[in-house]
Amino acid sequence: MCGIIGYIGNKKAKPILINGLLRLEYRGYDSAGIATIEKDGIKIIKEKGRISNLASIDEINNLEGTIGIGHTRWATHGKPSAINSHPHSDNSKTFAVVHNGIIENYNKLRKFLQEKNYTFLSDTDTEVIPNLIHYYYKEGNNFLESVKLACDDLKGSFALEILCNDYPDNMIVVRQDSPLVIGRSLNENYISSDIPAILSFTKDFFFLNDREFALLSRDSIDFYDNNLNKIDKIVKSIEWNTSSAEKDGYDDFMLKEIYEQPNAIRETIGSKLSENKIFFNDFEIEKNYLENISRIYIIACGTAMNAGLATKATFEKFCKIPTEVEIASEFRYKEPLIDEHTLCIFISQSGETADTIAALKLSKAKNAKTIAVANVIGSSITREADFCIYTHAGPEIAVASTKAYTSQVVLLNILALYFAELLQKVPTKEINQVKKEILELPKKAEITLRNVAEVKNFANVVYKETDMFFLGRGLDYYTACEGSLKLKEISYIHSESYAAGELKHGPIALIENGVTVIGIITNPNLVEKTISNMQEVITRGAKTLVITNQKVNESQFFKVINIPNTNPYLSPVLSIIPLQLLAYYISKEKGLDVDKPRNLAKSVTVE
Ligand code: M6R
pTM attached to this predicted model? 0.78
C-alpha gyration radius of the chain: 25
* 80 CA → ligand 1 middle, Å: 23
Instruction: Look at residues 406, 439, 472 and tell me which one is the last residue of a structural domain.
Output: 439
Q: Residues 136, 118: contact at Cβ < 8 Å? A: no
Q: Is residue 355 part of a domain?
A: yes
Tell how far the Cα of 475 is from the centroid of ligand 1, in angstroms. 20
State the total domains in the chain: 3
Residue 243 pLDDT: 64
252 and 372: one domain? yes
Pocket test for ligand 1, best of 303, 331, 397, 478 (most atoms within 8 A of CB): 303
One domain, residues 113 and 257? no
Q: pLDDT value at position 246?
A: 76
Query: Is 111 a known active-site residue?
Result: no
Q: Which atom of ligand 1 is nearest to the CA of 400?
A: 16
> Ligand 1 pocket test: which of 27, 301, 602 has the largest number of ligand atoms within 8 Å of its C-beta?
301
Q: Which pLDDT score is estimated for 308?
A: 98
Give the residue among 63, 77, 274 at the shortest CA–CA distance from 157. 77
Q: How far is CA 45 from the centre of its chain?
A: 29
Beta carbon of 349 within 6 Å of any ligand 1 atom:
yes
- pLDDT confidence of residue 211: 94
- For residue 281, what pLDDT is reported? 75
Using the atom order of ligand 1, give the atom closest to the CA of residue 302.
12
The DSSP output letter for 278 is B
pLDDT at residue 407 in the model:
97
Residue ending a domain, among 439, 460, 484, is 439
Q: Are strands 323-327 and 295-300 parallel, antiparallel or unpaired?
A: parallel
d(CA 601, CA 399): 6
* Number of neighbours of residue 56 by Cβ within 10 angstroms: 12
Measured between alpha carbons, how far is 439 from 443 in angstroms, rounded to an integer? 9
Cα 553 to ligand 1 centroid, rounded to whole Å: 36
At residue 325, φ and ψ (nearest 5 deg) are -110, 130
Question: Does residue 281 share a domain with residue 150?
Answer: no
**Secondary structure string (H, E, C) spanning 146-187:** HHHHHHHHCCEEEEEEEEECCCCCCEEEEEEECCCEEEEECC
Quick check: CB of 357 below 6 Å from ligand 1?
no
Contact by Cβ (8 Å): 588, 460: no
Whether 102 is covered by a domain: the verdict is yes
Q: According to the model, what pLDDT value does residue 244 have?
A: 66
74 and 201 belong to one structural domain: yes
94 and 227 both lie in a single domain:
yes
Compute the distance between CA of residue 148 and CA of residue 142 in angstroms, rounded to an integer: 10
d(CA 438, CA 415): 12
Same domain, 292 and 434: yes
Run means of pLDDT, 10 residues per run, the chain, 607 residues: 92 96 84 96 94 94 97 84 94 96 92 97 95 98 98 94 98 92 96 90 93 97 97 88 74 95 92 81 86 97 98 98 97 92 97 94 96 89 93 91 98 97 95 95 96 96 97 97 98 96 91 95 95 95 97 95 98 98 98 92 79
Cβ of 354 below 6 Å from ligand 1: no
Is there a catalytic annotation at residue 48? no
Tell me, in angstroms, the distance from the centre of ligand 1 to residue 558's CA: 32
Helical segments of 475-570, H only: 475-491, 527-539
The pLDDT, as a whole number, for residue 394 is 86
Distance 422 CA to ligand 1 centre (A): 31
Instruction: Check residue 95 and report its DSSP letter.
Output: E
The Cα–Cα gap between 526 and 528 comes to 6
Which domain CATH number covers 361? Answer: 3.40.50.10490
With 0-12 / 13-18 / 19 or more C-beta atoms within 10 angstroms meaning exposed / middle / buried, residue 399 is buried
CATH code of the domain covering residue 35: 3.60.20.10
- Domain boundaries, position 543: 449-589
Q: What is the DSSP letter of 87?
A: P
